[in-house]
Amino acid sequence: MTGRYLAVVGTPDRPIPDREAIAEGARTAGLEICHSDARLFVAVSPALAHHHLSEDRGMVIGEVFSRGTNLASSAESIGRMLAERPVDADRLVTRFWGNYVALLRAPGNFGITVLRAPFGKLPCLYGFEDGMTIAASDVAALAIAGVAMGNPDARALAERLAFPGLPGEGTCLTGIGNLPGGATLLIGPGGTSTGEAWSPWPHAERAQWYETTEQAQHEVRSAIYQALRALRGDAAKTLLMLSGGIDSSILAACLSSLGGEYRCVNFVHEDSFGDERNWARMVARHLGCQLEELDFPLNAVDVTRSESADLPSPGSRVFMQGTNAALASAADALGADLTLDGGGGDNVFLALNSVAPVTDALRHADTYETVWSCARTVAALGQASALEVLWRAARRRFRRSATFRWRPDLALLAPDAIANLASQAPHAWLSAPRNAEHGAAAHVAVIAAAQGWAEDCDLLSPVRHISPLASQPVVEACLRVPSWWWFRDGRSRIIARDAFADRLPREIVMRQSKGSPESFVADVYCKNRETVRSMLLDGQLRRLGLIDSDAVERATSDTGPIKDTAHRRLLQLSQVEAWLAAQHPQS
């Protein structure tokens, strides 16, 4: 529920053709025209904020917040802060953050830069038609300006299956691009090109590291409060998804401190991994907030339906249909106008199974005791020996590059599809600069996955939804923490735990276990095993040559108790199959 928009960009030598027809289509779709000239046309949904920059320097669509404040910014405040020079994308992401898309005119009016906010929830799809570049919030809005629905792209689908959850510039429909957060689309007389206005790397440099753990705790805590306060805005009734893990518990503590009406909801599946009620109850009692408990509704899940059907790429996980149904029920019962989750916290707080932080500790930690503590913690988390971890970390120091090696998921993919995959995961942030630290590279890699949650998550709320931990201020604050500081005493995410130790029960701060929807996922598969088998063996993934049909047939023939993780992959494939079935008839 982020709002819709359409932006059509012409060129200096070719004005926008059929502007009146585009305007009529926009009005029919319920959009209001907020700018229209020969080179730029913009229409937005009525509730979506938009800011015209002075001197015709462009406009910003969506929520914009000034750095260091919780106040939404106006065009005037943006203009004042950037008045000394023309507004450009680099300076915008440095001074502001939020959920926005900016359209910035170059000096002399010779081009336009489209910028998507880092970790912003407002989408930015783009396509080309009749000499125009069209950017929009969704595929239907692109169609208003004539961008035709593309056909499924088999190579892009294979990439999506090999690297699930990792966002990129492409989509799985031909002719439609996706602008990730922090990226730019430069539109000028010579054509279009993409660029990067924001990257995690400058924030992860050694020169940016905090000097003490106390400073790190203070800055991370301040950033979380700032992000939550700003994103919550004027919400009257807030509903938090509270598992009782450290991430959602931190948000509960922040809501309690900030005041205002809020409640928590815990989703239950009655087994040892899926039942976290006792943890959530502990937090609720400590903070004095009301907690609702709801079962995951198995009957709300339909494996033949994709909740990504209207999107240009399949991204939904089938079990999230149950989560979404339960969340909608809870929000309706409360009359909530805002829901939020702790999604992305694991990534941003570096809950990682890798020796990379130990490598950084070997290079930079002040004492051998610190190195040993980090190694023991990483070993405990990965169920390995501390000496083995130290040995692997020492060897890693001599790698030529610190680039984190993102392992693809090749399960059940056809050999030809595997052969055509790129050698590295398709994300601009994963290539580490020279002299980058190994732990920082690992942190950046998992933050790339958090970007997918922030910008393209499959949690669908009936009201406005926010994920404050996966926001630009919090990410930047956490990147400045030396990687080994996150690990101590057998636990990860230590800086975040310590930052809120005075606001949460000690049991929550010290908690090592982590809940999982795994048993619910298994129940979904067992209930729909035959449907999944039929979908995959008779479906388009097989016709496109993307799956190993013999391997799928073997995997789906086992009707006994679930013993491994193949059912998760089969459900993932079934959701891609459901997405394909919803696309263009030519597919």
Q: Which of 105-114, 127-136, 460-469 has the lowest mean pLDDT?
A: 105-114
Q: How far apart are CA 227 and CA 305, in angstroms?
A: 34
- Own/partner contacts of 140-143, CB < 8 Å, gap of 24 or more, are 140/29, 140/310, 141/4, 141/5, 141/6, 141/29, 141/31, 142/6, 142/176
Region 66-93 average pLDDT: 69
Among 45-59, 161-175, 413-427, 473-487, name the most confident range: 473-487
- Own/partner contacts of 391-398, CB < 8 Å, gap of 24 or more, are 392/355, 392/358, 393/355, 393/356, 393/358, 393/359, 393/361, 393/362, 394/359, 394/362, 396/355, 396/356, 396/359, 396/438, 397/359, 397/362, 397/363, 397/438
Q: What pLDDT, on the 0 to 100 scale, is given for residue 74?
A: 57
- Hey, what are 203's tokens? 């924030």
Check: CB of residue 223 under 8 Å from CB of residue 323: no
Q: Tokens 């047939």: give the residue.
A: 553
Region 74-103 average pLDDT: 77
Tell me which H or E stretch contains 156: helix 154-162
User: Residue 325 above 90 pLDDT?
Assistant: yes
User: Residue 571: helix, strand or coil by DSSP?
Assistant: helix
User: Residue 248 above 80 pLDDT?
Assistant: yes
Cα atoms in the Cβ-side hemisphere of radius 13 Å centred on 420: 16
Q: Count of CB atoms within 10 A of residue 380's CB? A: 18
pLDDT tens track for 22-67: 999 999 999 999 999 989 999 999 999 998 887 778 899 999 998 8
Q: Tokens 């790397």: give the residue.
A: 201
CATH fit for domain 5-197, picks 3.40.50.2000, 3.60.20.10, 3.20.20.10, 3.30.70.2190: 3.60.20.10
User: Residue 284 above 70 pLDDT?
Assistant: yes
Q: What pLDDT, on the 0 to 100 scale, is given for residue 104?
A: 93
Q: How far apart are CA 30 and CA 436, in angstroms?
A: 48
How many angstroms separate the Cα of 183 from the Cα of each of 324, 350, 465, 499, 531? 29, 24, 23, 32, 40
What Rg, from alpha-carbon coordinates, does the chain have? 24
User: Residue 241 above 90 pLDDT?
Assistant: yes
Confidence of residue 586 (pLDDT cuts 50, 70, 90): very low
Q: How far apart are CA 532 and CA 519, in angstroms?
A: 18
- β-pairing, 261-268 vs 237-241, is parallel
Strand order across the beta sheet in which 183-188 lies: 50-52, 58-66, 96-105, 112-116, 183-188, 191-196
What does residue 28 show for φ and ψ, rounded to 5 degrees? -60, -35
Q: How far apart are CA 8 and CA 15, in angstroms?
A: 10
CATH code at 203-348+457-509: 3.40.50.620
- Hey, what are 239's tokens? 């509903």
DSSP secondary structure, 413-430, as one string? B-HHHHHTS-SS-S-GGG
What does residue 580 show for φ and ψ, rounded to 5 degrees? -60, -40
| Average pLDDT score over the chain | 92
Q: What pLDDT, on the 0 to 100 scale, is given for residue 53?
A: 84
The distance from CA 565 to its chain's CA centroid, rounded to whole angstroms, is 24
Give Cβ neighbours of residue 306 (< 8 Å, ≥ 6 apart). Answer: 314, 316, 575, 576, 578, 579, 581, 582
What pTM does this model have? Answer: 0.95
Q: What pLDDT, on the 0 to 100 scale, is given for residue 585?
A: 46
Tell me which H or E stretch contains 292: strand 290-295
Query: Which one has a higher pLDDT value, 271 or 19?
Result: 19
Q: What are the sequence ranges of the domains in the chain? A: 5-197, 203-348+457-509, 354-407+423-448, 528-581
pLDDT tens track for 499-544: 999 999 999 999 988 888 888 899 999 999 999 999 999 999 999 9
Region 314-319 average pLDDT: 93
pLDDT tens track for 398-442: 887 899 888 999 999 999 999 999 878 889 999 999 999 999 999
Q: What pLDDT, on the 0 to 100 scale, is given for residue 75?
A: 54
- Hey, what are 519's tokens? 């048993």
Q: Count of CB atoms within 10 A of residue 137's CB? A: 24
Q: What pLDDT, on the 0 to 100 scale, is given for residue 27?
A: 97
User: Residue 587 above 50 pLDDT?
Assistant: no
Helical pair 277-287 and 246-258, crossing angle rounded to 10 deg: 20
User: Residue 128: helix, strand or coil by DSSP?
Assistant: strand
pLDDT > 70 in the chain, percent: 94
Q: Is the dihedral of CA 339, 342, 348, 352 positive or negative?
A: negative
The distance from CA 481 to its chain's CA centroid, rounded to whole angstroms, is 21
Q: What pLDDT, on the 0 to 100 scale, is given for residue 12?
A: 73
Q: Tokens 């059509």: give the residue.
A: 8
Check: CB of residue 323 under 8 Å from CB of residue 267: yes
